[in-house]
Amino acid sequence: MAEPFASVAPVPPPAHPRTGRPGPPPGSDVPAGSSARSERTVRPGLTELRLSAFAGHRGTGFPLGPLTLFAGPSGSGKTTALRAYEALARLAGGAPLAEVFPDPAACVPERARPDAQRRRGFRIGCTADGPEGPVRLDVAVQAEPELRIVGERLTAGGRILLETALRDPGRPAVQAAWHTAGSAPVTRAPLPDDRLGTALLPLRVAGKTDGQRQVLAAAEQTVVALRSVFACDPRPDRMRGPVPLGSGRLLPGCDNLADVLWRTRSECGRRYARLVAAVRDGCRGPVTDVLAEPLGDDTVRAVLDRGDGIRTDAGRLGDGELRYLALALVLLTGPGVLDVDAPGEVPDAIRGLTVLADGLDRALDGRQRGGLLRLAARMCALGHIRFVGAVSDASWAAGTEGVTVVDLDPVVHLEA
């Protein structure tokens, strides 16, 4: 496997045409000076996912909006794209490489050939936009013969802010260099090869110079944009029976739906009323309330109140109704209710939540799909949530405002 990135070479930004100070090039959509921060969104978010070489994807970059649908037939790489997004999020949260990629060989492109040292790997990356403008993160991972990060690059405004490279295969570390703009233009130090260097920078960079502060701001924007990801795929077979009362934090499979309904009903009446209205639109028959009913043995079950003295046990609902109920609950709650890695040190004003929903349209009828999409669009428009779903076909989403559709063609990716 070739050297993942070139060595660090500080690139001075072009001077601003009016002030003469370093700043964005003419025609850039990133304003220079402190006013740029106030003109940009306060809440960072991903605008692109790059799979340079990951499983079935090669040389691909996907645009991301607040609400994005990956569409394509089975085998087109929808689940793979969501898996790469989740992997970047977990790395940004400080998770070790082996925990994020338990089967790294499955991430290596099938036709990738080992180099002279029998090394093979994969490359993923993203762009996070926010107060610092677009910030690019690219990561090269060696999967064989041993798992390690062999290269990482953080770039903003045409300047390389952080770059790492594996210099000594015998040491569990990479050589890192980050922009300083002080007496020395670059600071060099080793970083572990099993963690994302960008996530470690706040612990290593003092922030004493303008350059160091730029590095910290770009790293923090990227980490904030990636953190608080909830990858969910509701499992109706696990949602039908009673569940023990617990933490009230929704699991990725929504197994403990009744426990979360029990907790959230009293926490926000307005949002719970919106949940009831959404369920009324997506379930058959009259619905006047959605409840968690205690059974007297420290367990609860989910029921629909039909308004005439009849309560329907969730076990009687169809798969589509249960998936619809669970996904509506996810969209109407937040990081405090979902089982996500939320950065507690980040103020709520800039903290977001990204929901990844694989098989979004599975078992749903047309009315349910449309209702969920409209609910997702409304929540995303508020700026508190971003949503990325995978569907087999997105023609039903045409005309919905605010939806970014990424059509995947397996033939294109095989030939890339």
Residues 173 and 306 in one domain: no
Residues 53 and 158 in one domain: yes
Question: 281: phi > 0 → left, psi -120 to 50 → alpha, else beta; which?
Answer: alpha
- Residue 319 belongs to a domain: yes
Question: Which one of 226, 255, 273 terminates a domain?
Answer: 226
Residues 336 and 242 in one domain: yes
For residues 171 and 169, give the distance between their C-alpha atoms in angstroms, rounded to a whole number.
6
Q: What is the pTM of this model?
A: 0.86
One-letter amino acid at 9 equals A
Residues 43 and 109 in one domain: yes
* DSSP secondary structure, 47-90, as one string: EEEEEEEETTEEEEEEE--SEEEEE-STTSSHHHHHHHHHHHHH
Question: Which one of 307, 340, 373 terminates a domain?
Answer: 340
Domain boundaries, position 302 = 236-340
- Residue 399 belongs to a domain: no
For residues 228 and 339, give the distance between their C-alpha atoms in angstroms, rounded to a whole number.
9
> Block means of pLDDT (10 residues each) for the chain, length 416 residues?
42 34 37 37 88 94 97 93 97 96 95 89 97 97 96 96 93 93 86 96 89 94 93 94 92 95 88 94 94 93 94 95 96 82 58 90 95 94 92 90 86 36
What is the count of structural domains for the chain?
Answer: 2
Residues 266 and 217 in one domain: no
- Residue 168 belongs to a domain: yes
Residues 198 and 276 in one domain: no
Residues 39 and 154 in one domain: yes
Question: Which one of 195, 226, 257 terminates a domain?
Answer: 226
Residues 123 and 182 in one domain: yes
pLDDT tens digits for 282-331?
Answer: 999 999 999 999 998 999 999 999 998 899 999 999 999 999 999 999 99
* DSSP secondary structure, 186-219, as one string: EEEEEEETTS-HHHHHHHH----SHHHHHHHHHH
Closest by alpha carbon to 305, among 296, 318, 292?
Answer: 292
Query: Which pLDDT score, from 0 to 100, does residue 412 have?
Result: 42
Query: Which pLDDT score, from 0 to 100, does residue 349 have?
Result: 54
Which residues contact residue 295 at a Cβ distance below 8 angstroms, ignoring those fewer than 6 apart?
A: 242, 301
- Residue 398 belongs to a domain: no
Query: Which pLDDT score, from 0 to 100, does residue 348 have?
Result: 58
DSSP, res 338: B
Query: Which pLDDT score, from 0 to 100, does residue 32 have?
Result: 36
